[in-house]
Amino acid sequence: MFELKIDPKPGSNCKDDAERIIQAIRSGRDKKLLSILDKALKDKKRLHIEKRFVDARHGKAKVIFRFDFLTEDEELKRHTALISDTMPYLGKKFIALADRPVIVGFGPAGIFAALILARYGLRPVIIERGSAMAQRIRDVDSFRSGSSMINPENNIQFGEGGAGTFSDGKLYTGLSSGIKGFVADVFVRHGADKSILYDSHPHIGTDRLRDVIVSIREEIIKLGGEIFFDTRLTSIEQTDGKITGITVENNSVSRQIRCSNVILAVGNSSRDTFRHLYSSDIRMESKPFAVGVRIEHKRRDIDMSQYGMDTADTSDLSAANYKLVVETSNGRKLYTFCMCPGGEVINGISGDGQCVVNGMSLFARDNENSNSALLVPVDSNDFGDGVLAGLEYQEQLEHRAYEATGDCRKIPVTKYKDLKGGMTGSFDYIKPSVKPGYKTCAFDGIFDSNVLNTIDEGIRLMGKKIKGFDNPDSVLSAVESRSSSPVRIVREKDTRESVSLKGLYPAGEGAGYAGGIMSSAIDGINCANSLAFSLIKM
Ligand SMILES: Cc1cc2nc3c(=O)[nH]c(=O)nc-3n(C[C@H](O)[C@H](O)[C@H](O)COP(=O)(O)OP(=O)(O)OC[C@H]3O[C@@H](n4cnc5c(N)ncnc54)[C@H](O)[C@@H]3O)c2cc1C
């Protein structure tokens, strides 16, 4: 394995990292590495980048690459190992069932569960309440341009690709699962940039992710899977603790589907589904989650403070990242989450009467602002006991934010200096990026004083870690409330089946077992493998 440090150069416009590395070796002083490169290329070996990360410890960023040269055979061997580690039941014979496995929800967990079952030859049936990509994009664009109201079945949360579709497409996770490589490989084979295979902060970009998802859907269908869009699960039927079928609704017409195995991957915004599960005595529990705001700074200011240079001037570095956590004097934590360098704040509601924000970015990450969520963890001390207490707290918070503007198309915003009330006036230095609109409001009518004080003091403390983070003109928007699920659908540790209903496999973020695209995809794969294992012919 070789290592190379590159000083990002203003004006650099290499088309990709392989070209960047080769150029740096050819123009560098390391003669030994140059002869290794020449020999490798002569032997028809390919440059294989293992890792790329940025070292910005000394105020001036350097990009570090670890790489090797591999033959085609060596590359193939690695890929075969990736597939067999992720799909251990390939080649096994499965029991012939009278019904096909069903997957509810076509977000990252549902997509990857479906892909695995389809590759096993188990021909899954997929139910998704929102529309297929093209129609979903039309509805979301129409809401974002201000020309229509929110469509409660087709929005930033619901529709093909799930909540991840209009996201940043960041793929980092704290999970150390070998399956991560498989998920990234699937994304690349379906059109994502190769850098997600080795970057320490892999990022697809919402613009590219959309086509990637459609391409994965086409593979699932080619393998015998079937997808019903605009079709919502309304109930799960059971006899003697086992699933016997589900009822779905399309265009106000209900029908039943007979089935005995369901992977339930409905995400964290499907409150009607959670309420149905609860009233059907499916074991659930409330879980801690987090609430807060989005903060926006000028991308250039964050770049300068993190990297000592404006990343707009070079293709060697993309907009700067950060990750911060502080503890405030009331003993609470404030942490940054889902940082979107060069991105925009997005109105993420899934129904009227709510105000919810999130963040996204395009592959280029070259917008004027950088943003991130600032979150305060909340638990039963904040929302009380009861399985749905957290969900109700989340709903009330989103509704208070809505009442502050009186219009779900207008997100409450303020400058940091006016967080607790004051005159925000016009946004001259940092302009709010959220569409279709916003209204300046004091946030003391939205958050309770304890959470608000944590945000206020926490930003000041973060300003000690990143210069300018506590700029009084930083723009805050509310509320960031859906970073994880307020409930967990309790499942067996080994089989991943619901503890109260046989044949039900709760998966992904909504079920309370993942947070983010990568971990949801991995959980979907794990559930698909558990289901497949139960169907192996002994
Ligand atoms: C704007 C935005 C930006 C984000 N950015 C990132 C990021 O950069 N990186 C990252 O890791 N994470 C990001 N996230 C979070 C990430 O998208 C989620 O963690 C992930 O999508 C969860 O995957 P999932 O499959 O569990 O659920 P979801 O993606 O929420 O998918 C659930 C699906 O189920 C469907 N569904 C729900 N109820 C029913 C029903 N009753 N019947 C039929 N279908 C139903 C929904 O329509 C939805 O499509 C972002 C989220 C948002 C909203």
Q: Which helix (H) or strand (E) holds 340?
A: strand 333-340
What confidence category does residue 97 fall into, taking pLDDT thresholds of 50, 70 and 90? confident
Model confidence pLDDT, tens digit, residues 304-317:
999 999 998 888 99
pLDDT of the residue at 59: 74
DSSP state of 207: H
Q: What's the Rg (C-alpha) of the chain?
A: 24
Record the tokens describing residue 436, joined without a space: 């279709």
Question: How many Å apart are CA 420 and CA 447, to the nearest integer?
Answer: 10
Q: Output the pTM of the full model.
A: 0.97
According to DSSP, the β-strands at 369-378 and 289-298 are: antiparallel
* Protein residue closest via CA to atom 6 of ligand 1: 167
Record the tokens describing residue 121, joined without a space: 């030859």
Model confidence pLDDT, tens digit, residues 315-332:
899 999 999 999 999 999
Q: In this model, does residue 495 exceed pLDDT 90?
A: yes
Model confidence pLDDT, tens digit, residues 437-489:
999 998 999 999 999 999 999 999 999 999 999 999 999 999 999 999 999 99
Model confidence pLDDT, tens digit, residues 229-286:
999 999 999 999 999 999 999 999 999 999 999 999 999 999 999 999 999 999 999 9
pLDDT of the residue at 1: 93
Question: Residue 453 Cα, ligand 1 centroid: separation in angstroms?
Answer: 30
Ligand 1 binding pocket (C-beta < 6 A) is 104-110, 127-130, 156-159, 162-164, 166-170, 232-233, 265-267, 270, 273, 338, 346, 348, 358-360, 508-510, 514-518, 520
pLDDT of the residue at 154: 96
122 within 8 A of 100, measured Cβ to Cβ: yes
Q: For a substitution probing ligand 1, which of 103, 126, 129, 262 has the most ligand atoms within 8 Å of its CB? A: 129
Reference 324, options 284, 392, 372; nearest CA is 372
Q: In this model, does residue 58 exceed pLDDT 80?
A: no
Q: For a substitution probing ligand 1, which of 155, 266, 336, 337 has the most ligand atoms within 8 Å of its CB? A: 266
Model confidence pLDDT, tens digit, residues 319-371:
999 999 999 999 999 999 999 999 999 999 999 999 999 999 888 899 999 99
Record the tokens describing residue 33, joined without a space: 């590495």
Model confidence pLDDT, tens digit, residues 190-239:
999 999 999 999 999 999 999 999 999 999 999 999 999 999 999 999 99
What confidence category does residue 67 fall into, taking pLDDT thresholds of 50, 70 and 90? very high
CA of 203, closest atom in ligand 1: 8
Q: In this model, does residue 527 exceed pLDDT 80?
A: yes
pLDDT of the residue at 116: 98
pLDDT of the residue at 438: 97
| CA–CA distances in Å: residue 529 to residues 262, 263, 389, 515 | 13, 11, 33, 20
Average pLDDT in the 409-432 region?
92
CA of 269, closest atom in ligand 1: 30
CB atoms < 10 A from the CB of 131, how many?
19
Question: Residue 436 Cα, ligand 1 centroid: separation in angstroms?
Answer: 21
Question: How many Å apart are CA 24 and CA 17, to the nearest integer?
Answer: 10
Question: Residue 210 Cα, ligand 1 centroid: separation in angstroms?
Answer: 13
Q: Which helix (H) or strand (E) holds 393?
A: helix 389-405
Tokens 């599960």 sit on residue: 277
Question: Residue 516 Cα, ligand 1 centroid: separation in angstroms?
Answer: 8
Report percent pLDDT > 90 for the chain: 91
Question: How many Å apart are CA 378 and CA 323, to the nearest integer?
Answer: 20
pLDDT of the residue at 12: 84
pLDDT of the residue at 297: 98
For residue 477, the SS3 value is strand
Reference 291, options 427, 406, 393, 152; nearest CA is 393
Residues 6+ apart with CB under 8 A from 313: 10, 11
What confidence category does residue 188 fall into, taking pLDDT thresholds of 50, 70 and 90? very high
Question: How many Å apart are CA 258 and CA 98, to the nearest integer?
Answer: 9
CA of 482, closest atom in ligand 1: 53
pLDDT of the residue at 168: 79
pLDDT of the residue at 177: 83
Question: How many Å apart are CA 323 and CA 485, to the nearest integer?
Answer: 21
Torsion of CA 268, 273, 278, 281, to 10 degrees: -120
pLDDT of the residue at 363: 87
Record the tokens describing residue 294, joined without a space: 């989005």
Question: Residue 267 Cα, ligand 1 centroid: separation in angstroms?
Answer: 5
Average pLDDT in the 503-520 region?
97
CA of 518, closest atom in ligand 1: 11
Phi, then psi, of 332 in degrees rounded to 5: -95, 160
Q: For a substitution probing ligand 1, which of 270, 391, 394, 491 has the most ligand atoms within 8 Å of its CB? A: 270
pLDDT of the residue at 423: 78
pLDDT of the residue at 434: 97
State the average pLDDT for the chain.
95
DSSP state of 33: H
Q: For a substitution probing ligand 1, which of 125, 158, 272 has the most ligand atoms within 8 Å of its CB? A: 158
Question: Residue 193 Cα, ligand 1 centroid: separation in angstroms?
Answer: 21
The vertex-429 CA angle with 424 and 434, nearest 5°, equals: 70
